[in-house]
Amino acid sequence: MSSPSSRPGSSTSTSIRPTVPSWLRCPLLVCNQARIYQLDFYLVGLVYYAFDTGALLSTTVIL
């Protein structure tokens, strides 16, 4: 266990991480979740849009 004492930079960088307050950590998680959901909705919307345009093209070709 002599590596942390010889390299103080690593110990300080690791100690900074847990010092994030809980009231700040929660909104960060919520923002992350919202971003993931936004991406999901965007992808689903793209798929629906592609299907809609494909259906419109096929109907116009058939008509």
Per-residue pLDDT of the chain (63 residues; tens, 9 = 90+): 554 455 555 454 455 555 666 667 777 777 778 787 888 888 888 888 888 888 777 777 766
> In the prediction, which pLDDT does 19 show?
65
Q: Answer yes or no: are the C-beta atoms of 4 and 11 closer than 8 Å.
A: yes
Q: What angle do CA 12, 16, 17 make, to 5 degrees?
A: 125
The CA distance from 34 to 7, in Å, is 38
> In the prediction, which pLDDT does 52 show?
86
Domain ranges of the chain: 22-63
pTM assigned to the model: 0.38
Residue 18 contacts by C-beta under 8 Å, 6 or more apart in sequence? Answer: none
